[in-house]
């Protein structure tokens, strides 16, 4: 008779002893063997004495040393180790840092337990097929003062940053899509900053802002006398970005002739300066962005399908601000702080009515519009407080989108977020057999908060 396979062994690390115990019980009921540790130091001892483990699940924020410190220590011992970073304080920057440091995934609390189970099972299955990592392929973790700041803790923006962290070390061309003002250039800067090209130039060019003849000369350079006014040679932006990254914004607006020239650059890794007889080799990573639907442009014959496929190796789609409204308070806090420093002002605050106006607006101009509105308000505000009178009239009246006013419904994005929250909370409650005390621990919230949430959904008080 064949002996039963031993259970998959997990190491669960969390400084909250009760939360650690309860999640361990949930995972043990799924058939996992779970060891627990309440600190990074204790986790490292467990790895030495009781390891190896099939996977490590660690909280992010702990005293003395963080989950990222544990992640780096585990990966330095075993580059194939599977580490999941779990946190109630999810944010885009931490997600990117965790993935770059080698985490398999970054998961925010409250846990979606079915998703967590699937993620663990999938990671273990895929590890059996993965080749051993080489030092050059291993993610390098670093944090530099000049790195671009990505603000947010919504699932959508965390997923974006996880993709950024995974694609950055490669040489793949990336197409960044999204509405105007969603921060496409910032994402391009993050990919460059997290790559091995970060020590070289990041060059951004708005393709829609220049006429075709000017754009060709700007991108590829020209020789002396190539056209009237070309008194001297110019290397061009591709050569300026050599060994670095070039970001082609609004790529959907370039002409068919320019599309052909860009295709040659991507295929041959060489440019032909205007008026030159011989091409010039370049080593440049290309990132591109557009607010247009390039696939639709291909169908209509306005964009080359071969160029589209060259650009579309990896696509990152940025959500509009109205679909990530839970990030709005973080964005407001970040912009008010940075803008105050920029203008030499003391920090300012929002009064409740102004905050309500911001939350009730649909933000058609996205994060860029939010930044402009807050800069205007900060300049106009007196006594360190921004009131509704410092906001644009359209925003106060909700003329450009749904407003949170008495008798109106909340924006659809908030309704969708509430449904996701409800599904997560009820799933955890079911997993702990209805115990509200245990569910609150697993979710990382107080029992009182959990009771208020359940009452809001029609559950009896308890």
The confidence score (pLDDT) of residue 420 equals: 54
Comparison of pLDDT for 145 and 321, the residue scoring more: 321
The confidence score (pLDDT) of residue 128 equals: 65
- Alpha-carbon distance 89 to 217, whole Å? 48
CA atoms within 13 A on the CB side of 24: 20
Structural domain includes residue 92: yes
Comparison of pLDDT for 410 and 455, the residue scoring more: 455
CATH code assigned at 300: 3.40.50.300
The confidence score (pLDDT) of residue 401 equals: 43
DSSP classification of residue 339 = H
Residues 188 and 308 in one domain: yes
**Domain final position from 69, 94, 127:** 127
Residues 186 and 122 in one domain: no
Structural domain includes residue 1: no
Q: What is the number of structural domains in the chain?
A: 4
| 248, pLDDT greater than 90 | yes
| 230, pLDDT greater than 70 | no
Three-state SS for 1-31 is CCCCCCCCEEEEECCCHHHHHHHHHHHHHCC
Residues 191 and 302 in one domain: yes
Strand partners, 314: 174
The confidence score (pLDDT) of residue 94 equals: 84
- Summarize pLDDT for 34-83 with one digit per residue, the tens: 999 999 999 999 998 987 888 999 998 888 888 899 999 998 888 778 99
140 — pLDDT class (breaks 50, 70, 90):
very low
**Domain final position from 264, 284, 319:** 319
- H/E stretch holding 393 reads helix 393-397
Comparison of pLDDT for 434 and 145, the residue scoring more: 434
Of 102-116, 126-140, 147-161, 259-273, where does the model show the most confidence? 259-273
Write out the two tokens for 262: 């860009």
The confidence score (pLDDT) of residue 202 equals: 95
Structural domain includes residue 97: yes
446 — pLDDT class (breaks 50, 70, 90):
low
Structural domain includes residue 404: no
Of 15-19, 98-102, 314-318, where does the model show the most confidence? 314-318
Residue 446 burial by Cβ neighbours in a 10 Å radius (0-12, 13-18, 19+): exposed
CATH code assigned at 388: 1.10.8.60
| 165, pLDDT greater than 50 | yes
Residues 49 and 78 in one domain: yes
- Chain-wide mean pLDDT for the chain? 82
Q: Do 322 and 182 touch, CB atoms closer than 8 A? A: no
Residues 232 and 180 in one domain: yes
- Alpha-carbon distance 311 to 314, whole Å? 8
Q: What is the mean pLDDT of residues 72-97?
A: 83
Q: Do 239 and 280 touch, CB atoms closer than 8 A? A: yes
The confidence score (pLDDT) of residue 137 equals: 36
| 135, pLDDT greater than 80 | no
444 — pLDDT class (breaks 50, 70, 90):
low
Cα-Cα-Cα-Cα dihedral sign, residues 47, 51, 56, 59 = negative
Residues 389 and 416 in one domain: no
Residues 315 and 350 in one domain: no
Q: Do 404 and 356 touch, CB atoms closer than 8 A? A: yes
184 — pLDDT class (breaks 50, 70, 90):
very high
CATH code assigned at 451: 1.10.10.60
- Chain-centroid distance of CA 397 in Å reads 32
Residues 190 and 73 in one domain: no
3-state secondary structure of 82: coil
The confidence score (pLDDT) of residue 417 equals: 45
CATH code assigned at 55: 3.40.50.2300
Q: What is the mean pLDDT of residues 328-355?
A: 86
Residues 207 and 300 in one domain: yes
Q: Tell which residue, 374, 50, 430, has the closest CA to residue 37.
A: 50
Residues in the chain, overall count: 462
Structural domain includes residue 163: no
The confidence score (pLDDT) of residue 141 equals: 38
Q: What is the mean pLDDT of residues 365-383?
A: 90
Q: What is the mean pLDDT of residues 358-377?
A: 92
Write out the two tokens for 254: 């370039």
- Alpha-carbon distance 180 to 183, whole Å? 8
Structural domain includes residue 96: yes
Structural domain includes residue 113: yes
**Domain final position from 373, 397, 421:** 397
Residues 307 and 175 in one domain: yes
Residue whose tokens read 């985490």: 103
| 413, pLDDT greater than 50 | no
Q: What is the mean pLDDT of residues 235-245?
A: 92
- Alpha-carbon distance 156 to 278, whole Å? 46
Phi/psi at 386 (nearest 5 deg)?
-90, 125
**Domain of 123, in residue numbers:** 9-127
3-state secondary structure of 235: coil
| 301, pLDDT greater than 90 | yes
Structural domain includes residue 406: no
- Summarize pLDDT for 265-295 with one digit per residue, the tens: 999 999 888 877 788 899 999 999 999 999 9
Q: Tell which residue, 138, 150, 152, has the closest CA to residue 190.
A: 150
The confidence score (pLDDT) of residue 443 equals: 67
Question: Left (φ > 0), alpha (ψ -120 to 50) or beta: where does 340 sit?
Answer: alpha
Residues 365 and 296 in one domain: no
Residues 352 and 291 in one domain: no
CA atoms within 13 A on the CB side of 352: 1
């Amino acid at each position: 008779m064949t002996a039963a396979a031993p259970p998959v062994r997990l190491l669960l690390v969390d400084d909250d002893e009760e939360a650690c115990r309860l999640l361990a019980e949930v995972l043990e009921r799924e058939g996992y063997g779970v060891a627990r540790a309440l600190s990074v130091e204790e986790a490292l001892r467990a790895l030495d004495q009781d390891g190896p483990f099939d996977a490590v699940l660690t909280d992010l924020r702990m005293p003395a040393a963080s989950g990222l410190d544990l992640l780096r220590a585990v990966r330095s011992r075993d580059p194939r180790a599977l580490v999941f970073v779990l946190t109630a304080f999810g944010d885009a920057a931490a997600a990117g840092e965790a993935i770059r440091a080698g985490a398999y995934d970054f998961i925010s609390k409250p846990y979606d337990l079915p998703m967590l189970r699937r993620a663990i099972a999938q990671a273990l299955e895929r590890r059996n097929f993965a080749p051993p990592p080489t030092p050059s392929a291993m993610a390098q973790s670093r944090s530099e003062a000049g790195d671009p700041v990505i603000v947010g803790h919504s699932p959508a923006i965390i997923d974006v940053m996880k993709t950024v962290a995974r694609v950055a070390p490669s040489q793949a061309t990336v197409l960044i899509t999204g509405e105007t003002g969603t921060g496409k250039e910032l994402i391009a800067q993050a990919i460059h900053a997290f790559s091995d090209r970060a020590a070289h130039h990041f060059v951004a060019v708005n393709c829609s802002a220049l006429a075709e003849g000017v754009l060709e000369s700007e991108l590829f350079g020209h020789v002396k006398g190539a056209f009237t006014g070309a008194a001297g040679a110019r290397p061009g932006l591709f050569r300026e970005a050599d060994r670095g990254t070039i970001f082609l914004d609004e790529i959907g607006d370039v002409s068919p002739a320019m599309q052909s020239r860009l295709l040659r650059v991507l295929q041959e890794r060489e440019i032909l300066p205007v008026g030159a007889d011989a091409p010039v080799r370049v080593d440049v990573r290309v990132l591109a962005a557009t607010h247009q639907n390039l696939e639709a442009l291909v169908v209509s014959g306005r964009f080359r399908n071969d160029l589209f496929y060259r650009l579309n190796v990896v696509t990152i789609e940025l959500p509009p601000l109205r679909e990530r409204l839970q990030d709005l308070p973080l964005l407001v806090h970040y912009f008010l702080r940075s803008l105050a420093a920029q203008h030499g002002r003391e920090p300012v605050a929002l009064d409740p009515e102004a905050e309500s106006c911001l939350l009730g607006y649909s933000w058609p101009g996205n994060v860029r519009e939010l930044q402009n509105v807050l800069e205007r308000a900060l300049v106009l505000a007196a006594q360190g407080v921004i009131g509704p009178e410092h906001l644009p009239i359209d925003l106060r009246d909700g003329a450009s989108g749904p407003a949170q006013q008495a008798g109106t419904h909340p924006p659809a994005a908030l309704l969708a977020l509430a449904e996701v929250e409800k599904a997560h909370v009820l799933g955890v409650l079911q997993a702990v057999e209805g115990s509200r005390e245990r569910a609150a621990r697993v979710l990382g919230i107080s029992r009182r908060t959990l009771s208020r949430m359940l009452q809001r959904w029609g559950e009896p008080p308890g």
